[in-house]
Chain A
Amino acid sequence: MGNGGFDRSQEPHFFIPSYLKGTRHAERLLKAHKSRLRSRTTESAKSATSTGGTNSLSTSSSSINLHQKMVPSHRGMTHDIIEKAPTPIYEDAVAQLPSCWNRNDKWAGLEIEGGGLEVIYRGASKTHVDEAAAVRSDRPMPRECGIYYFEITIMSKGKENKPSLVSIGFSGPKVILSRLPGWEPNSWAYHGDDGNTFNCTASGRPYGHKYNTSDVIGCGVNFRTGEAFFTRNGHYLGTAFTDIKAVDLYPSVGMKKPNEHLRVNFGQSPFCFEIDSLVEAERRETMDLISSMPVTGLCPPLNETQLIHQLIAQYLAHDGYIDTARAFAEEVRQENKNLTYNIPGSDSEASKDLEPEEDVDAIQRQKIRASILDGDIDRALKLINIYYPTVLSANEPIYFKLRCRKFIEMIRHCAELSDSPSPITSKNNTSSDSYNGVFSHQMELDESNGFEDGMDTSDDLSNSAIGGVGIGLDGNQTFGNSSSNGNSEGNGFLGYGDLMNKTLEYGRELKDEFDGDGRGSSISVRKTLEDTLALIAYSDPREGPLRALLDVEGRIPIAEELNGAILVSLGKSSSSSLERLFAQTDVLLSECGADGSAGALINLRSI
């Protein structure tokens, strides 16, 4: 998100008001926006495919092909294949913010200009005391925001040298627009001519100053408390209304004199009033409630510390952080020992010691993760096929991602080789030197030659033609039929040219495997494949537009997704208790915050 409260890099109409930044509703809006952009690109890609005369089959028939080809796996696969399908449903579910005045929801005589943000009264002067012209915004204020705020600048109050007859506030969708907001039931407003507030009635109550040309009037609604307030030129004027329960309230302004001219800021620009601090104070109030919340009811008889220890220990074991799990269990054990030191008979009072999980699965999973995080995809594929031979065929998308990642790692390697004057490679191409130390037995499985196909190989791991050569490179070198290339067999060091050839060869193979057999017709698979293979077009892909693909961070999601898939294949939950706790809380907060009550402003991710 940008600095000024909105993001210029997105399409012009998308913005997040500054006070909503970091809230869950802002995240929802952003996600919906991205999904909208994505589905747009996907749709254009789709039409390009269908009109472009390519030989791809229609989606439905190709997915039948896919089934036939991939029958051995479970139904999980089809689910995964369509997983990346565009999800336009999502954006409908997210309450969008007001963005401009609604041309179809205004009274005659009002004209809308300035990109939908300005409204000018060009009609005849409303002489009758009851008559006026009002307009509403395109969308209601989402209660999910917790607090909603907008500002109106009085550009001109008209020609007549009289108090401005402007009304600023909000109203329900059915409130008649020939009256000033505030006069009618289900409308609330602050009037400029007398400084009074009008709470669904024609008789006002004294509230603040009258307002005039170039004043900036802000209006905020707190959906938790059901209160509304106004600001004038950056000053808070106090609570104006209480007990606002109506849903679907639209920002609204009304006026009576020719040339009265207002401009609204729904958050596209920085606000005059310090609304961010007000929202932050509101958030803190709720955070204080949360901080003092006892948690003993969550998982009796565990107290807070015990519960947190269990959650952490279970996560570490679940995700295969074995060394950490052991160290943590030991440190907690030491702590319990300290706490009961010299207190006879208190053993039962202390936390239960943690028993780190020492199962072979955790170690195997950690080895696989380590390989991926090191960028050694061949090794990872090999280990998966040894330990969990069914996982890849049951999780085609993960297999695809791993295969693409291997190509990316080869490109990375080529780019690095081209940097160094001599073709000697470092042991570990970029990241995580420390990583190899985690498992002393990491290299006990020597890389073997002739690793041909990640799907069905069961290599002889005792073949150690290239013992001890750097991770990554040897994988690259041995991929495919190295004998057919006949070059540098048994030699760990490849020149740039050789490596580039290998990479190209592998790229072709990748394309053949995924583009030629029907799987490639899945839009997302094709797109990924195209992007990945396009890397080869850049002399230094680290500088090109696709450089994000090369980021080593990209290894992490693949490693974690695979870990989850392995756990599922073992009949275990794909997520740990801590992840569930987070997700449960997130959903609960959404439930609580949906109507704007406490919880709307709480975002676990930014706690």
Chain B
Amino acid sequence: MSTSTVSAAATPTRHPFERRVEENKPSKTDINTVIMDYLIKEGYPDSARKFAMEANIKQKPDDESIRTRVEIKHAIQSGNIQSAIEKINELNPEILDLDSTLHFALLRLQLIELIRDCSSDASPENVSQAITFATQQLSPRASTSKAFLEDLQQTMALLVYPGDTLTPQMSELLKPSLRGEVADRVNQAILRRQGQSVEAKIKEWVRARAWAEKEARASHKDVPANLKLVLDGDDEDEESDDGMNGNGDAMIT
């Protein structure tokens, strides 16, 4: 759209690569589209609504279709797997019926949540609840696949080992990132089932950035040694609280 740049003249000492970067700015429409796409696909309904207003985007987000996905996402992220499974089946039972791997991942996460309850309160009820769940829900499925079986065995070991003797691989299972990962997979499965493209465009942009740099360096292209991504201030640790207030003038020429 707007191809004109508002930047001041480039200083001659700059790497030609930087000059080309200046000339290759995307249009705001491209950027706004990609942001809207992320907010909708990844389920940030408030932000999407506000953004449609502030950026004057004609296509308003469809609240209804986001809401269910957001509810499911939140349920998984906060460890409420039972409720998530019910909501998914309410939406479309085929999502889990036709994807046994995803279903198993959810059930195993549910088991992990039950085991987590045991570690805070190792009462016999809690432990037996976890074991019952494992034998009823996961064992029958584990017999169908070697990968499932390994996953189940590793998970059950959590019950036996005390917290401080876990292998790194096992302690990964207890981290919040597993919840996030399963939530992402479910979200994608729902999008796929709704016939939408699954990956948010901005993810592909970020990955393409990493990939293209790797390729360019591998073929010895003339690329600056250090391609900075975040340009607000040199101290990246301050980046989040500093936003645009950083000493951006270092970057302005």
> Taking CB as reference atom, which chain B residue is nearest A334?
B74
Distance A400 CA – B161 CA, assembled complex (angstroms): 73
Distance A298 CA – B236 CA, assembled complex (angstroms): 12
Query: How does the 8 Å CB contact mask read for B157-189 relative to A, with 1 for contact and 0 for none?
Result: 000000000000000001111011000000000
Of the listed stretches B88-96, B100-108, B226-234, chain A binds: B226-234
Tell me, yes or no, whether A174 is within 8 Å of chain B by CB. no
Contact indicator B1/A577 (Cβ below 8 Å): no
Contact indicator B232/A314 (Cβ below 8 Å): yes
B209: which of A330, A581, A592 is its contact (CB, 8 Å)?
A581
Contacts of A561 in B (CB 8 A): 2, 4, 6
Contact indicator A357/B240 (Cβ below 8 Å): no
A-facing residues in B42-96 (Cβ within 8 Å): 44-47, 49-56, 74, 77-79
Contact indicator A330/B180 (Cβ below 8 Å): no
Query: How does the 8 Å CB contact mask read for A67-99 relative to B, with 1 for contact and 0 for none?
Result: 000000011100100011000000000000000
Contacts of A335 in B (CB 8 A): 74, 77
Contact indicator A312/B38 (Cβ below 8 Å): yes
Distance A310 CA – B177 CA, assembled complex (angstroms): 18
> Taking CB as reference atom, which chain A residue is nearest B6?
A564
Tell me, yes or no, whether B215 is within 8 Å of chain A by CB. yes
Q: Which of B200, B206, B214, B222 has the most CB of A within 10 A?
A: B206
Of the listed stretches B16-24, B122-130, B134-142, chain A binds: B16-24
Contacts of B213 in A (CB 8 A): 584, 588
Contact indicator B248/A556 (Cβ below 8 Å): no
B-facing residues in A342-380 (Cβ within 8 Å): 342-344, 346, 349-350, 352, 354-357, 359, 362, 366, 373
CB distance from B6 to the nearest CB of A (A): 4
A342: which of B39, B78, B251 is its contact (CB, 8 Å)?
B78
Tell me, yes or no, whether B249 is within 8 Å of chain A by CB. yes
B53: which of A79, A398, A434 is its contact (CB, 8 Å)?
A434
Distance A178 CA – B60 CA, assembled complex (angstroms): 65
A604: which of B53, B208, B216 is its contact (CB, 8 Å)?
B208
Contact indicator B215/A577 (Cβ below 8 Å): no
Tell me, yes or no, whether B145 is within 8 Å of chain A by CB. no
Distance A584 CA – B251 CA, assembled complex (angstroms): 15
Of the listed stretches A134-142, A190-198, A255-263, A566-574, chain B binds: A566-574
What's the interface size class on A, roughly?
Answer: 35 or more
Contacts of A326 in B (CB 8 A): 50
Tell me, yes or no, whether B99 is within 8 Å of chain A by CB. no
Contacts of B26 in A (CB 8 A): 579, 582-583, 586, 604-605
Contacts of B45 in A (CB 8 A): 331
Contact indicator A304/B4 (Cβ below 8 Å): no
Tell me, yes or no, whether A114 is within 8 Å of chain B by CB. no
CB distance from A538 to the nearest CB of B (A): 25
Distance A323 CA – B20 CA, assembled complex (angstroms): 33
CB distance from A395 to the nearest CB of B (A): 7
Contact indicator B180/A339 (Cβ below 8 Å): yes
Assuming the contacts A580-B21, A585-B209, asked whether A339 and B78 have C-beta atoms less than 8 A apart, the reply is yes
CB distance from B208 to the nearest CB of A (A): 5
Tell me, yes or no, whether A491 is within 8 Å of chain B by CB. no
B-facing residues in A231-275 (Cβ within 8 Å): none
Tell me, yes or no, whether A437 is within 8 Å of chain B by CB. yes
Contacts of B174 in A (CB 8 A): 343
CB distance from A519 to the nearest CB of B (A): 17
Tell me, yes or no, whether A464 is within 8 Å of chain B by CB. no
Contact indicator B205/A321 (Cβ below 8 Å): no
Assuming the contacts A76-B9, A582-B31, A604-B208, asked whether A305 and B56 have C-beta atoms less than 8 A apart, the reply is no
Contact indicator B230/A327 (Cβ below 8 Å): no
A-facing residues in B13-42 (Cβ within 8 Å): 17, 20-31, 35, 38-39
B231: which of A289, A321, A354, A577 is its contact (CB, 8 Å)?
A577
Tell me, yes or no, whether A318 is within 8 Å of chain B by CB. yes
Contact indicator B31/A577 (Cβ below 8 Å): no
CB distance from B23 to the nearest CB of A (A): 8
Of the listed stretches A104-112, A445-453, A594-602, chain B binds: A594-602
A577: which of B5, B56, B229 is its contact (CB, 8 Å)?
B229
Tell me, yes or no, whether A466 is within 8 Å of chain B by CB. no
Contact indicator A565/B245 (Cβ below 8 Å): no
Tell me, yes or no, whether A509 is within 8 Å of chain B by CB. no
Contacts of B201 in A (CB 8 A): 607
Contacts of A438 in B (CB 8 A): 53-54
Tell me, yes or no, whether B212 is within 8 Å of chain A by CB. yes
Distance A297 CA – B200 CA, assembled complex (angstroms): 20
Distance A319 CA – B29 CA, assembled complex (angstroms): 13
Tell me, yes or no, whether B147 is within 8 Å of chain A by CB. no
CB distance from A305 to the nearest CB of B (A): 7
Tell me, yes or no, whether A587 is within 8 Å of chain B by CB. yes
Contacts of A565 in B (CB 8 A): 6
Interface secondary structure of A, over-half rule: helix
Distance A38 CA – B203 CA, assembled complex (angstroms): 36
Contact indicator B252/A573 (Cβ below 8 Å): yes
Contact indicator A324/B176 (Cβ below 8 Å): no
Assuming the contacts A293-B211, A577-B229, A580-B231, asked whether A312 and B202 have C-beta atoms less than 8 A apart, the reply is yes
Contact indicator B9/A79 (Cβ below 8 Å): yes
Tell me, yes or no, whether A404 is within 8 Å of chain B by CB. no
CB distance from A5 to the nearest CB of B (A): 24
Tell me, yes or no, whether A63 is within 8 Å of chain B by CB. no
> Taking CB as reference atom, which chain B residue is nearest A562?
B6
Contacts of A568 in B (CB 8 A): 6-8, 252
Contact indicator B241/A597 (Cβ below 8 Å): no
Tell me, yes or no, whether B210 is within 8 Å of chain A by CB. yes
Tell me, yes or no, whether A456 is within 8 Å of chain B by CB. no
Distance A346 CA – B47 CA, assembled complex (angstroms): 26
B17: which of A76, A341, A587 is its contact (CB, 8 Å)?
A587
Contacts of A310 in B (CB 8 A): 230, 239-240
CB distance from B36 to the nearest CB of A (A): 10
Contact indicator B248/A572 (Cβ below 8 Å): yes
CB distance from B38 to the nearest CB of A (A): 7
Contact indicator A366/B176 (Cβ below 8 Å): no
Contacts of B251 in A (CB 8 A): 573
Assuming the contacts A314-B230, A344-B120, asked whether A592 and B208 have C-beta atoms less than 8 A apart, the reply is no
Contact indicator A584/B78 (Cβ below 8 Å): no
CB distance from A146 to the nearest CB of B (A): 13
Contact indicator A431/B8 (Cβ below 8 Å): no
Contact indicator B2/A560 (Cβ below 8 Å): yes
Distance A425 CA – B167 CA, assembled complex (angstroms): 72
Distance A334 CA – B47 CA, assembled complex (angstroms): 13
CB distance from A35 to the nearest CB of B (A): 10
Tell me, yes or no, whether A455 is within 8 Å of chain B by CB. no
Contacts of B46 in A (CB 8 A): 327-328, 330-331
Tell me, yes or no, whether B207 is within 8 Å of chain A by CB. yes
Assuming the contacts A344-B120, A568-B6, asked whether A599 and B215 have C-beta atoms less than 8 A apart, the reply is yes
Identify 26 residue pairs between A and B in the complex whose beta-carbon atoms are under 8 Å apart, listed by A's number: A76-B9, A83-B5, A84-B4, A295-B207, A295-B210, A298-B209, A298-B229, A310-B239, A321-B50, A327-B46, A328-B47, A339-B180, A342-B113, A355-B241, A355-B243, A432-B56, A571-B248, A571-B252, A578-B202, A582-B24, A582-B25, A582-B31, A583-B21, A584-B229, A588-B209, A605-B30
Given contacts A323-B53, A355-B240, A580-B231, 11 further A-B contacts (CB under 8 A): A287-B204, A290-B211, A291-B204, A291-B207, A293-B211, A324-B51, A568-B6, A578-B202, A587-B24, A592-B221, A605-B30
